[in-house]
Structure 1
Amino acid sequence: MLFQLPDTATLYQALTARDPRYEGQVYVCVTSTGIFCRLTCPARKPKPENCVFAESISACITDGYRPCKRCRPLDPQDHDPDVTRLLEALERAPERRWSERDVAAMGLDPSTIRRRFKRLYGLTFLDMARQRRLRAGFTALGQGDRVIEAQVEAGFESASAFRAAFARLLGRPPASFKLEGQLLADWIPTPLGDMIAVSSHTELHLLEFVGRKALRAELCRLDAAVGGDLGIGTTPVGETLRAELTAYFSGASARFRTPLARHGTPFQREVWAALREIPAGESRSYAQIARAIGRPSATRAVARANGANQIALLIPCHRVIGADGALTGYGGGLWRKQRLLEIERHYAAAEPPAQARPSVNSTRSQRLP
């Protein structure tokens, strides 16, 4: 990781406060017990003199520490048996109109589940279930079905309810999407949530996680740019993207060769080009990006350009973090940002030594005085 760990006093304060900003970025090794934990671990906090902070799980294991059985640092962040149970139920019945009564019937407290899902995914379980049904309706529209048929496929009780939910999510009613167009929108499932891709037959114009607030405005801008000729479907570019996303999330490859459209101002395009130079498994701060493009005083402008990126993953704005190593804002949600960085550590570890890129700071443990 290309950032200097904060001073040990800051890290110890984050540990006692269970600060989630360092989740996936820093771990604490406890010398008195021989275990290592997330900084958000609910266990009783060790004394400062018994703490060693490290940037990676591998560093903790190499130094002989065992993973904590309470915070489970080797598990994905969203390890929660109740959450897992509901996600499995949703997979078995994605067309079901889930309600809080259904959650309670499974012996779970709806308010507790609501908080857990919001904390982990930025949306509730019922919101997630509604998105799954909208996916079915979107796919049906792309296959030429009428709105009423898509509504039935999505399990909505009425066409008006389907249209309203569709418009809330994408900013446009379903009838506004054509079967053909200069640009085609495709709904792509991924392990970290569904994504919307918009492509022409030659370039990718947009790739965003469903539910991102900026998605609706971005779709409207693209539609206006092509004179309302935005439709639903896929293109050869979209098929290439699907294959590359599958390879990325399966751990096979972090290389994306899908051709990208050149949107944005010249400055934004300069920043986005710099983002694409960050190897998977590494990260940069906004200040480092500003220096890399020869504009060291433009840190805030770099941050704005980073936030304006509408092609997630392929233009890896998730690889930009705070100067102190903390996770910073991400339109797809901080939980996704953390998971993406965790996924990409696999690629960094798998890189052959001869091809390894130099880093500013090697991974080191820091011991409190």
Structure 2
Amino acid sequence: MAISETKAREFYEALLHKNKQYDGTFFAGIKTTGIFCHASCPARKPKFENCEFFLTAEEALLAGFRPCKRCMPLTYPNSIPEEVETLVAAVEAHPEKRWKEADFHELGIHSATARRKFKEIYGMTFVQYARSRRMGIAFKEILAGEKVIDQQVSLGYESASAFNDAFTKIMGNPPKKTEVKPLYANIIATPVGRMFSLTDEEALYLLEFMDRRGLEREIEQLRKKHNARILVGKTETNAKLEQELEEYFAQERTDFTIPLHLDGTPFQKQVWQSLLEIPSGETRSYQEIALTLGNKNLVRAVGNANGLNKIAIVIPCHRVIQTNGELGGYGGGIRRKKYLLQLEGHKME
């Protein structure tokens, strides 16, 4: 979630004075070292402009920061169990690694134990931790920005690493084909957290919250389907997207004009088109959408298609609720769904 200037100043004062009362309240990412710390960290304090503050460890990991070895911010509020310490060290040794059952056995740790203990201490599972650290590698490069790769040059390379595909290290190269498609990655700050976008000069391919669990899979699917190289750089599409999102959150816009590239089956595209037709300030149930598609028995299929939407907010899957009026699920989390609906003027009971 976005942190105000006032709150950031408060957190910085706590960091300067090593205020233990703030340990676990926030995490401070230090841009010059790439680590994140507790408020009480004994290390030399950075300048304010070199700090970035987070409310959760997961947000710090997704921003590309690694845990400080001096203050060990992931030990709050309990001392760290030996199994967890071993796993954290293993992730740092190979942060790009995707963990399998055999990897846990090799360390002499049961995967269920890892899942339970991480959840107890950090509020996230080990898989979430490893994924956040892994994705943070690519996100850090994107957050650095300014590194624009010329499209004509990139098309001439066979190896994605030769022209800086931001996700090659953690996903490998997409299948080699004759035609290489550059997609440009950007990270957009919003009042409800950072969002990740993929665009080219013609359309928006993906817009998701950075902490969405399925984001890594969605990126990989796009890379494989389009033989895409995901590069760091701005496009006119993304510039327009940033502007329209800013207007949306300022309640100055209710509809988006961004051209969309939709990857899905004909049925999924029908569902997404139905979502686009829900006016701002209103909601529809899965059943109502099924009926508009001509078959009341399509409720589950509608729900599945809704969950596979890769373009959050712009295609407003947050406007779909359960028949009984309850909010139901949302890939970005229920808190965000409620915020978006309230922003659009939907009255919450």
> Which TM-score applies when normalising by structure 2?
0.56
**Deviations 1:62-96 (CA, angstroms, capped at 9, x unpaired):** xxxxxxxxxxxxxx9x9xx9999659987996637
Is 1:129 equivalent to 2:60 in the alignment?
yes
1:269 alignment counterpart: 269
**Which stretch shows the higher mean deviation, 182-191 or 295-304?**
182-191
Q: Residue 255 of structure 1 aligns with which residue? A: 255
| Letter of the structure 2 residue corresponding to residue 130 of structure 1 | L
Q: Does 1:98 align with 2:29?
A: no
Report the residue type matching 1:188 in the other structure.
I
Matched residues, number: 230
Percentage of matched positions with identical amino acids: 33
1:298 aligns with 2:309: no
Alpha-carbon spacing, 1:223–1:85, altered in 2? closer, same or farther (3 Å)? same
Q: Can you give the 5+ residue segments of structure 1 that lack an aligned partner in the other structure? A: 1-75, 107-122, 146-165, 175-179, 349-362
Match of 1:116 in 2: none
Cα offset for 1:236?
0.9
Separation of aligned partners in 1, 2:253 and 2:27: 26
Structure 1 position 316 matched with structure 2 position 247: no
**Could you tell me which residue of structure 2 aligns to residue 215 of structure 1?**
215
CA distance in 2, matches of 1:200, 1:167: 17
Contact 1:94–1:132 at 8 Å: present in 2 too? no
Q: Which residue of 1 aligns with 2:200?
A: 200
- The structure-2 alpha-carbon separation of the partners of 1:275 and 1:85, relative to structure 1 and needing over 3 Å to count, comes to farther
Distance in 1 (alpha carbons) for counterparts of 2:303 and 2:222 = 23
Runs (4 or more) in structure 1 with deviation over 3 Å come to: 81-94, 103-106, 132-137, 170-174
Rounded Cα–Cα distance in structure 1 between residues aligned with 2:308 and 2:246: 25
Cα distance in 1, alignment partners of residues 250 and 233 from structure 2:
24
Q: Show the counterpart of 1:22.
A: none
Contact 1:139 1:187 in 2 (8 A): yes
Residue identity matched to 1:261:
H
Higher relative contact order (CA 8 A, sep 6+): 1
Corresponding residue of 2:161: none
2:142 to 138, 143, 152: 138
2:158 is the alignment partner of 1:227: no
Q: What's 2:159 paired with? A: none
User: Is this contact kept in 1: 2:27–2:57, CA < 8 A?
Assistant: no
CA–CA distance in structure 2, aligned partners of residues 217 and 235 of structure 1:
23
Measured after TM superposition, the shift of residue 300 of structure 1 is 0.4
1:298 aligned counterpart, secondary structure: helix
CA distance in 2, matches of 1:307, 1:221: 15
